[in-house]
């Protein structure tokens, strides 16, 4: 059943709507939410939502409880190829839990939280941005690690990143839900404005796997590829560009790298010179790499989980 | 007056990115002023440019108090202004939400770190800011309520209003918030407009800043002129008036207007047939502090804030 959770008039003959697909079967049971599209340039979640809806349409009898699918929390952003909400300065994922008396964006954020909270599990799917390519990963605030990592291990991602708490991140959808005891796992994968089918199928399998673990899915699930690498503590190295220029690399993320290994080069197309070489300063697991080649000093080039055991 | 380069960075294809600063006087770091942080903050940059001009004149005539120095940075983001973008053109990040910055971090974190290093340690800090919601304001001084805000000095600008509001999580990366944490008495000055030069409001803002400098003894030769006795407002007490319908907005009052119960403030017109969908009225007497300034409006959008 399609339900509208936010409906507001736009200036000229158009209704702004945020909708969800509520799929229910069996006795009253648990409620599992899949949300995506907070950032309008992140599209992997669209395919995941489609696949989950399709599977549920084909095998509704296998579901035990309620699956709610929210494909686009920021429909205007998706439709205009913008990360944020058109005509609004703030990142939508920095205004939760919203404000019923605030701007339209803040009212929307408030309505979303009110609709989702109380769920037994929420998967918030992101897919990096235009600039970075991410290996499939779950991100968990260190404050919620003990509670959420055991759930994350069922999703079949390559990597679980338990990151430090930051005040500004208290305004994310995930933090707002987790702070109301609604468990929310943030998934990052791929690159902005594109859909990687293989990654999406893996995540769909992982979500079904987690639902099965929670007693919500009786159908077949793919075997998990592997247990994820779980990164805890201050053990991630960030590599930033030393020079502005054009970044060239042959590498993809999701591989191990060794100390001293070349990640790529930043070059000057005008003069035909190498301006700087991006080198891994550690042994570890490369889980983020620059996707958009034009870089300025400081542009994030890669993130590496420091690990001697993996190399 | 000494011009210096606060930050410089090469670009892949354009000229180098530079942030210029202008120093006046010698001695203790007394006042720092920052203009455009975003590419559309033309009014803010105009005011800073006028200040550089006026302070040069004042300094030339020995009007800066001995042992005090002033830094003015008219723009932290010329690249975005040159291509008509509000935020950093490469990745759409907001320099004003990157403070205190990180010198080894991403590009706009590095810019913020360099700017903050230049701005840190001053006794007073003034940022010419713009708001994240589109609209016009009565020019005012705005401060985060962190426990470090200095209301009494804010009144010395002689602007009509001084407002305070509690920081939300997304405010903790603003320059104003971090200035306060590092013991600078920080004031955000909202100049009324953003993307266009309003000469009258601009001159009033220049006068307000020079008045504050005069009243705090930073400059000695400026006549403070007429000023308001500022009213302090907690922003949570402002009356919010929202749009009951979407459509074309015809505003009937300007910011600063006195309004009375039952008075029409705006009409919202049907975009196809011209009928009045909503006659927007106030239920209270007060002053229009904020007014939406786009010609079209969404349902439930904030149209006016009234100080009652």
Write out B164-223 in H/E/C secondary structure.
EECCCHHHCCCHHHHHHHCCCEEEEEECCCCCCCCHHHHHHHHHHHHHHHHHCCCECCCC
Residue-level pLDDT at B95? 97
Q: Which helix (H) or strand (E) holds A295?
A: strand A294-295
Nearest by CB to B170, from A9, A87, A90: name it. Answer: A90
Question: How close is the nearest chain B Cα to the Cα of A10, in Å?
Answer: 5
Residue-level pLDDT at A29? 87
B294 contacts on A by Cβ (under 8 Å): 87
Query: For B196-250, how does the pLDDT look when each residue is reduced to its tens digit (9 = 90+)?
Result: 899 988 999 999 999 999 999 999 976 667 899 999 999 999 999 999 999 999 9
CATH of B238-307, picked from 2.40.50.100, 3.30.70.1400, 3.40.50.300, 3.50.50.60, is 2.40.50.100
Q: Is the pLDDT of residue A232 over 90?
A: no
Residue-level pLDDT at A55? 98
pTM flag (> 0.90): yes
- Which residues, listed in sequence order, are joined to residue B306 by a DSSP beta bridge? B239, B288
Same domain, A207 and A289: no
Same domain, A131 and A59: yes
Residue-level pLDDT at A228? 94
Phi, psi of B253 (to 5 degrees): -130, 155
In whole angstroms, what separates CA A72 from the centre of its chain? 13
Nearest by CB to B271, from A11, A169, A294: name it. Answer: A11
Same domain, A154 and A48: yes
Same domain, A203 and A108: yes
Is A268 inside a domain boundary?
A: yes
Residue A54, number of CB atoms within 10 A of its CB: 11
Query: For A34-52, how does the pLDDT look when each residue is reduced to its tens digit (9 = 90+)?
Result: 999 999 999 999 999 999 9
Following DSSP, what letter does each residue of chain B receive, concatenated? -EEEEEEEE--SSSSPEEEEEEEEESSEEEEEEEEESSTT-HHHHHHHHHHHHHHHHHHHTT-BPTTEEEEEEEES-HHHHHTT-SS-TTT---GGGSTT--TTS-HHHHHHHHHHHHHTT-SEEEEEE--SS--EE--EEEEE-SS---HHHHHTT--SEEEEEPPPGGGTTSHHHHHHHTT-EEEEEE-S-SSS--HHHHHHHHHHHHHHHHHTTSBSS--------PEEEEGGGSEEEE-SS-EEEEE---TT-EE-TT-EEEEEE-TTT--EEEEEE-SS-EEEEEE--SSEE-TT-EEEEEE-
Q: Is A77 on the interface with B (CB under 8 A)?
A: no
Using CA coordinates, name the residue in chain B closest to A169: B169
Nearest by CB to A12, from B11, B271, B299: name it. Answer: B271
Where are the domains positioned within chain B?
2-234, 238-307
Instruction: State the residue range of the domain holding A179.
Output: 2-231
CATH of domain B2-234: 3.40.630.10
Which residue, A197, A231, A265, sits at the end of a domain? A231
Same domain, A184 and A58: yes
Chains A and B form CB pairs within 8 A to the count of 99
At a CB cut-off of 8 Å and minimum separation 6, what does B63 contact? B219, B220, B221, B222
- Subunit contact A294:B110, Cβ cutoff 8 A: no
Question: Considering chain A, what is the average pLDDT of its residues?
Answer: 95
Same domain, A37 and A153: yes
Which CATH number goes with the domain that contains A268?
A: 2.40.50.100
B298 contacts on A by Cβ (under 8 Å): 8-11, 16, 104
Which residue, A231, A264, A282, sits at the end of a domain? A231
> What's the rounded Cα separation, in Å, for the pair B155 and B230?
6
Q: Is B284 on the interface with A (CB under 8 A)?
A: no
Same domain, A139 and A179: yes
A108 contacts on B by Cβ (under 8 Å): none
Tokens describing residue B54: 């006026």
Q: Is A90 on the interface with B (CB under 8 A)?
A: yes
Is A140 inside a domain boundary?
A: yes
Q: Is the pLDDT of residue A124 over 90?
A: yes
Q: Is B237 on the interface with A (CB under 8 A)?
A: no
- Subunit contact A169:B170, Cβ cutoff 8 A: no
Q: Is A169 on the interface with B (CB under 8 A)?
A: yes
Q: Is the pLDDT of residue A230 over 70?
A: yes
- Lowest mean pLDDT: which of A12-16, A100-104, A153-157, B206-210? A100-104
Tokens describing residue B256: 């600063």
Same domain, A217 and A247: no
Question: Considering chain B, what is the average pLDDT of its residues?
Answer: 95
Q: How many domains does chain A have?
A: 2
Residue-level pLDDT at A88? 85
Q: Is the pLDDT of residue A225 over 80?
A: no
A94 contacts on B by Cβ (under 8 Å): 169-170
On whether the CB atoms of residues B174 and B129 are closer than 8 A, the answer is no
- Subunit contact B296:A107, Cβ cutoff 8 A: no
Is A187 inside a domain boundary?
A: yes
Which residue, A198, A231, A264, sits at the end of a domain? A231
Q: What is the phi-psi region of residue B225: left when phi exceeds 0, alpha when psi lies from -120 to 50, beta otherwise?
A: left
On whether the CB atoms of residues B93 and B80 are closer than 8 A, the answer is no
Q: Is B181 on the interface with A (CB under 8 A)?
A: no
> What's the rounded Cα separation, in Å, for the pair B38 and A263?
33
Helix, strand, coil tally for chain A in percent (to 5)? 25, 35, 40
Same domain, A129 and A196: yes
- Subunit contact B107:A297, Cβ cutoff 8 A: yes
Nearest by CB to B299, from A9, A83, A243: name it. Answer: A9
Same domain, A88 and A204: yes
> What's the rounded Cα separation, in Å, for the pair A167 and B73?
28
Residue A25, number of CB atoms within 10 A of its CB: 17
Same domain, A227 and A201: yes
- Subunit contact A8:B299, Cβ cutoff 8 A: yes
Query: For A174-201, how does the pLDDT look when each residue is reduced to its tens digit (9 = 90+)?
Result: 999 999 999 999 999 999 999 999 999 9
Percentage, residues of chain A above pLDDT 90: 89
Question: How close is the nearest chain B Cα to the Cα of A67, in Å?
Answer: 30
The helix/strand/coil state of A288 is strand
Residue-level pLDDT at B224? 65
The arithmetic mean of pLDDT across residues A196-209, rounded, is 96
Q: Is the pLDDT of residue A145 over 70?
A: yes
On whether the CB atoms of residues A214 and A120 are closer than 8 A, the answer is yes
Same domain, A23 and A159: yes
Q: What string of pLDDT tens digits covers the 308 residues of chain B?
A: 999 999 999 999 999 999 999 999 999 999 999 999 999 999 999 999 999 999 999 999 999 999 999 999 999 999 999 999 999 999 999 999 999 999 999 999 999 999 999 999 999 999 999 887 788 999 999 999 999 999 999 999 999 999 999 998 889 999 999 999 999 999 999 987 888 899 988 999 999 999 999 999 999 976 667 899 999 999 999 999 999 999 999 999 999 999 999 999 999 999 999 999 999 999 999 999 999 999 999 999 999 999 99
Is A311 inside a domain boundary?
A: no
């Amino acid at each position: 059943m399609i339900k509208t959770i936010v409906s507001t008039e736009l200036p000229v003959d158009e209704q702004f709507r945020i909708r969800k697909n509520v799929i229910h079967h069996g006795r009253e049971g648990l409620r599992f939410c899949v949300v995506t599209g907070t950032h309008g340039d992140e599209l992997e979640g669209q395919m995941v939502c489609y696949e989950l809806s399709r599977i549920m349409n084909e095998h509704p009898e296998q579901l035990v409880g309620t699956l709610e699918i929210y494909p686009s929390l920021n429909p205007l952003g998706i439709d205009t190829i913008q990360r944020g909400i058109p005509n609004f300065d703030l990142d939508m994922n920095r205004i939760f839990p919203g404000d019923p008396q605030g701007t339209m964006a803040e009212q929307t954020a408030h309505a979303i939280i009110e609709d989702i909270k109380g769920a037994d599990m929420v998967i918030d799917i992101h897919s990096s941005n235009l600039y970075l390519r991410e290996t499939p990963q779950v991100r968990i605030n260190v404050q919620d690690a003990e509670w959420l990592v055991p759930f994350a291990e069922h999703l079949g991602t390559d990597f679980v990143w338990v990151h430090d708490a930051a005040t500004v991140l208290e305004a994310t959808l995930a933090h707002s839900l987790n702070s109301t005891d609604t468990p929310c796992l943030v998934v990052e994968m791929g690159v902005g404005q594109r859909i990687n089918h293989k990654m999406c199928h893996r995540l769909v399998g992982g979500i079904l796997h987690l639902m099965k673990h929670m007693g919500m899915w009786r159908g077949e699930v793919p075997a998990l590829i592997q247990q994820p690498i779980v990164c805890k503590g201050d053990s991630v190295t960030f590599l930033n560009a030393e020079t502005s220029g054009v970044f060239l690399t042959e590498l993809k993320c999701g591989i191990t790298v060794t100390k001293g290994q070349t990640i790529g080069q930043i070059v000057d197309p005008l003069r035909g010179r190498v301006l700087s070489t991006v080198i891994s300063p550690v042994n570890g697991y490369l889980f983020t790499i620059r996707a958009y080649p034009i870089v300025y000093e400081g542009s994030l080039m890669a993130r590496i989980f420091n690990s001697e055991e993996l190399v | 007056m000494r011009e210096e380069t606060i930050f410089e960075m090469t670009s892949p294809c354009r000229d180098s990115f530079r942030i210029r600063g202008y120093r006046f006087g010698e001695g203790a770091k007394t006042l720092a002023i920052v203009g455009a942080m975003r590419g559309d903050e033309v009014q803010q940059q105009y005011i800073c440019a006028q200040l550089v001009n006026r302070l040069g004149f004042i300094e030339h005539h020995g009007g800066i108090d001995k042992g005090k120095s002033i830094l003015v940075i008219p723009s932290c983001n010329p690249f975005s202004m040159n291509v008509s973008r509000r935020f950093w053109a490469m990745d759409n990040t907001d320099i004003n939400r990157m403070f205190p910055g990180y010198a080894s971090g991403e590009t706009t974190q590095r810019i913020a770190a360099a700017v903050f290093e230049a701005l840190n340690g001053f006794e007073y800090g003034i940022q010419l800011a713009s708001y994240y919601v589109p609209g016009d304001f009565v020019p005012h001084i705005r401060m985060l309520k962190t426990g470090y805000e200095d209301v009494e000095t804010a009144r010395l600008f002689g602007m009509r209003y001084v407002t305070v509001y509690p920081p939300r999580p997304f405010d903790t990366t603003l320059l104003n918030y971090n200035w306060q944490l590092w013991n600078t008495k920080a004031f955000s000055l909202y100049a009324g407009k953003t993307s266009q030069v309003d000469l009258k409001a601009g001159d009033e803002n220049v006068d307000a800043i020079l008045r504050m400098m005069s009243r705090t003894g930073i400059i000695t030769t400026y006549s403070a002129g007429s000023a308001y006795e500022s009213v302090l407002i907690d922003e949570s007490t402002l009356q919010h008036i929202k749009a009951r319908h979407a459509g074309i907005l015809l505003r009937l009052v300007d910011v600063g207007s006195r309004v009375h119960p039952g008075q029409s403030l705006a009409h919202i017109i049907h975009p196809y047939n011209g009928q009045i969908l909503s006659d927007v009225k106030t239920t209270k007497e007060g002053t229009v502090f904020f007014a939406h300034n786009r010609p079209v409006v969404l349902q439930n959008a904030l149209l006016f804030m009234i100080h009652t």
